[in-house]
């Protein structure tokens, strides 16, 4: 999985996609996010549920436990290990959804530079990625160690991905079940292991190489390359 994605819609577009009846506690603002080229460490809108309330907060993309000071904060966690390995043990119970509009991958097509591709839902709906993290809550508020990681699985063979990992994208019903604190951890693990969306739900096309520079932003980055 390449570390680049888009989250340019406003929070309520993602709330509509989740279609949850829970009251929303929104700390992200009301305006479109306009993050067309978001990289690791970017603050992104993250959903999590506490009791009956759905929370939306801006949380840094990337997390590491406080004791892992000898490495950069990972941006993803392998679905095969995330539930049982020591690195993510503290945040495995803290399930979240990161809603995105699309993501990017770079493909070696024998040119002087790799070709970027945009990957999105065929029906243009928001993409609901399974995530875990450390995020603001009523007891502790915002902390310096807050952050989240996206759960990844093996890439589908027929997708454009040259990387061996892809985000685990959950269908609507499973995204709501994933967020529900009452969902047992064993059930949550099975969901991300076996019930992510198939490659047929996505489409992809070439985009301009300007997306390679993280300082570049704007809707031109998500248009098909000429």
Q: Give per-10-residue mean pLDDT for the chain (226 aa).
A: 91 95 94 97 96 95 92 93 93 97 90 91 97 81 84 71 79 96 96 93 95 96 93
CATH class of the 5-105+125-199 domain in this structure: alpha beta
pLDDT in tens, 177-216: 999 999 999 999 999 999 999 989 999 999 999 999 999 9
pLDDT at position 122 is: 96
**Catalytic residue from among 2, 177, 186, 200:** 2
Q: Which two tokens stand for residue 17?
A: 């996609």
Say whether 2 is catalytic.
yes
Longest CA–CA separation in the chain, Å:
53
**Catalytic residue from among 34, 80, 105, 197:** 105
Sole residue written with tokens 């709330």 = 15
Residue 145 to residue 65: CA distance in whole angstroms: 8
**How, if at all, do strands 147-154 and 95-100 pair?**
unpaired
Say whether 129 is catalytic.
no
pLDDT at position 64 is: 94
Residue 69 to residue 48: CA distance in whole angstroms: 26
pLDDT at position 70 is: 85
Question: From start to end of the chain, where are the E strands?
Answer: 5-7, 24-26, 35-38, 43-50, 53-60, 76-78, 95-100, 102-107, 115-121, 127-134, 147-154, 165-167, 202-206
pLDDT at position 161 is: 56
Residue 194 to residue 200: CA distance in whole angstroms: 16
Task: Please return the burial class of 22, using the count of CB atoms within 10 Å of its CB with bins 0-12, 13-18 and 19+.
Answer: middle
pLDDT at position 142 is: 67
């Amino acid at each position: 999985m390449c570390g680049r994605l888009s989250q340019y819609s406003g929070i309520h577009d993602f709330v509509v996609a989740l279609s949850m009846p829970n009251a929303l506690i929104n700390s992200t603002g009301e305006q479109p996010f306009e993050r067309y080229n978001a990289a690791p460490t970017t603050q992104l809108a993250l959903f999590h549920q506490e009791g009956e309330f759905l929370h939306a907060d801006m949380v840094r993309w990337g997390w590491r436990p406080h004791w892992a000071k000898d490495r950069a904060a990972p941006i993803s966690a392998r679905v095969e290990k995330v539930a049982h390995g020591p690195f993510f043990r503290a945040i495995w119970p803290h399930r979240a959804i990161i809603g995105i509009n699309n993501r990017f991958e770079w493909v070696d097509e024998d040119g002087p530079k790799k070709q970027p591709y945009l990957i999105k839902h065929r029906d243009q709906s928001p993409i609901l990625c399974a995530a875990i993290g450390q995020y603001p809550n009523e007891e502790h508020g915002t902390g310096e160690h807050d952050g989240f990681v996206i759960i990844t699985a093996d890439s589908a063979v027929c997708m454009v991905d040259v990387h061996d990992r892809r985000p685990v994208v959950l269908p609507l019903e499973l995204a709501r079940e994933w967020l529900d604190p009452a969902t047992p951890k064993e059930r949550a693990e099975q969901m991300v292991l076996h019930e992510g969306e198939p490659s047929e739900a996505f489409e992809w096309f070439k985009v301009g190489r300007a997306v390679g520079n993280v300082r570049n932003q704007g809707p031109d980055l998500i248009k098909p390359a000429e």
